[in-house]
Amino acid sequence: MDRDKILLTPGPLTTTLRTKLAMLKDWGSWDADFNAVTASVRKSLLAVVHGAGSHVVVPLQGSGTFSVEAAVATVVPRDGHVLVLDNGAYCKRAARLTSLMGRRCTLMPFDESQPVSPMAVADKLGADPSVTHVILIHCETGAGVLNPLREIADLCEKHGKGLIVDAMSSFGALDIDARETRFDALVAASGKCLEGVPGMGFVVIRKAILEACAGNSQSLAMDLVDQYIYMEKTTQWRFTPPTHVVVALHEAIAQFEAEGGQPARLARYTRNCETLVRGMAALGFKPFLDAAVQAPIIVTFHAPADPRYDFTAFYAAARARGFILYPGKLTTVDTFRVGCIGAIGPHEMEQAVHAIALTLQDMGIASGAPAS
């Protein structure tokens, strides 16, 4: 096979040739041309959530998790109390990093097959006034659940709590409007729905809280206020930036805008998801989530009940046909995941389903149906 394997994962993702080609040039980290690219990227990212005037964008080297950690360290005072709404693996990761930074943290569990409940959160916030901040994972890709961002944001505003949103797998695809949804910090990354390459996270921070955040972070590298002030003063990054990642993101954003921005990207991913679910159903596979709570980002499928099924062999056979699947992230149910995002369309999803059909034949499995 002479093409790259298609990544049906929640990131890194399949990227376009244009995005790959953008990385073939070397850039000086203090050079005016590169600084102009950084400024353009920051402006474009702010526009995605309609945050001009009310928010700022602070980019950070590293994976998205680096920026989640930086957001918590910067936004939450050292004596703050963070409530993490937990319906999956990435929620638990947010809680762990919060605790490791010495912030008081309470994990509020929900069923991993359901969105977090605004009513339950309202009760919790009313019962525990010591909570200062809430962390919400917008799209929890452990299972693929879409959580109710707008409702949780309204609750936090009503109760006077700060809100940190992990929008890693939703930014650029799902509608987020900072004019209507109040949050203190919203975190995403280059290698997700913007279809850049991994290596740069970024945090959208509400201007009104910036000044009060100075001195909160116990980390030099993770201090977003320090990073913001330095960038505003010099147009440069404080420390060596991921230059090739930034210019690739700049090119990916140009394609995002040409496609029609967030509404167009959501429409394509939705078609991908529908094509996938329909094709997999014909093979007997059953999604883990109810369609009403399924985000069109990544779909978790029950593993086939057939005793010949083994994920490692299943993965290898699909990979040999050009498609990279993702293992399940659930602790109680045997599953695997198939992503719907990246520089792919319904045609690639049809090809993926066909590759899975051939994989089942290879393994002697008549149906992908799970145990009843």
Residues 240 and 277 in one domain: no
Query: If residue 163 lies in a helix (H) or strand (E), which one and from where to where?
Result: strand 162-166
In a domain, 206, yes or no: yes
What is the share, in percent, of the chain residues with pLDDT greater than 70? 99
At residue 174, φ and ψ (nearest 5 deg) are: -95, 150
pLDDT at residue 352 greater than cutoff 60: yes
Residues 195 and 318 in one domain: no
Domain boundary among 258, 280, 303: 258
pLDDT at residue 208 greater than cutoff 60: yes
Residues 148 and 264 in one domain: no
**Number of domains composing the chain:** 2
Residues 291 and 169 in one domain: no
What is the band of 145 on the pLDDT scale with cuts at 50, 70, 90?
Answer: very high
Residues 175 and 203 in one domain: yes
- Average pLDDT on 86-113 reads 97
- Average pLDDT on 180-204 reads 98
Q: Which residue has the tokens 């059953």?
A: 286
Determine the 3-state secondary structure of 110 from DSSP.
coil
pLDDT at residue 3 greater than cutoff 90: no
Q: Which residue has the tokens 């060596």?
A: 240
Residues 55 and 130 in one domain: yes
Cα 172 to Cα 372: distance, rounded to the nearest angstrom: 37
Q: Exposed, middle or buried by CB within 10 Å (0-12, 13-18, 19+), for 21?
A: exposed
More confident residue, 3 or 2: 3
In a domain, 1, yes or no: no
- Average pLDDT on 256-285 reads 98
At residue 10, φ and ψ (nearest 5 deg) are: -85, 15
Residue-level pLDDT at 329: 84
Q: What is the pLDDT of residues 38-87, one digit of tens each?
A: 999 999 999 999 999 999 999 999 999 999 999 999 999 999 999 999 99
Residues 191 and 267 in one domain: no
Q: Name the token pair of 125.
A: 């916030």
Residues 252 and 309 in one domain: no
Residues 128 and 166 in one domain: yes
- Average pLDDT on 329-341 reads 91
Domain boundary among 258, 285, 304: 258
Q: Please, which residues bridge with residue 164 across strands?
A: 135, 185
Q: Name the token pair of 261.
A: 């921005």
pLDDT at residue 1 greater than cutoff 50: no
The residue length of the chain stands at 372
- Average pLDDT on 236-246 reads 97
Q: What is the pTM of this model?
A: 0.96
| Residue 344, domain extent | 6-10+260-363
pLDDT at residue 2 greater than cutoff 50: no
CATH code at position 196: 3.40.640.10
Determine the 3-state secondary structure of 363 from DSSP.
helix
What is the band of 332 on the pLDDT scale with cuts at 50, 70, 90?
Answer: confident
